[in-house]
Amino acid sequence: MAVNLYDSAYELEKAVRESDEYKALKQAYDDVNADPSAKTMFENFRNIQMELQQKQMMGQDITQEEVEQAQKTVALVQQHEQISKLMEAEQRMSMMVAEMNKIIMKPLEELYGAAE
């Protein structure tokens, strides 16, 4: 019997949406977006984060000033309770996705690992 991987992927998507981790992340995200000051602060944090990641991917140097600005922004957002909760929920979700990725990739790891 052939397995349709796409059907399984859509079932996994549904399971993710129904998971406690996703629900907590969505609630934390909604809470931050409902507070204008938290939303602005979080968007600023994300923009700085993305700018630095883009510079790294392009092989550009990140200045000491940029590093210090990023550190100040991180310290500021971590002090905001709603944003801190959102970042914790993001971390839990990220860990869950990483664990699922390990499970999904296990057959390929076994296949290529056996060839060595």
| pLDDT at site 114 | 61
- What is the architecture of the domain spanning 5-115? Up-down Bundle (1.20)
Domain ranges of the chain: 5-115
3-class state of residue 80 by DSSP: coil
pTM for this structure?
A: 0.81
| pLDDT at site 67 | 87
Q: Is the pLDDT of residue 1 over 70?
A: no
DSSP line for 85-114? HHHHHHHHHHHHHHHHHHHHHHHHHHHHHH
d(CA 116, CA 96): 29
Rg of the chain over all Cα atoms, to the nearest angstrom: 19
| pLDDT at site 116 | 53
Per the listing, tokens 């905001």 go with 80
The string of pLDDT tens digits covering residues 7-60 is: 999 999 999 999 999 999 999 999 999 999 999 999 999 999 999 999 989 999
What's the average model confidence in pLDDT over 87-99? Answer: 96
CA angle 33, 68, 64 (to 5 degrees): 135
| pLDDT at site 113 | 85
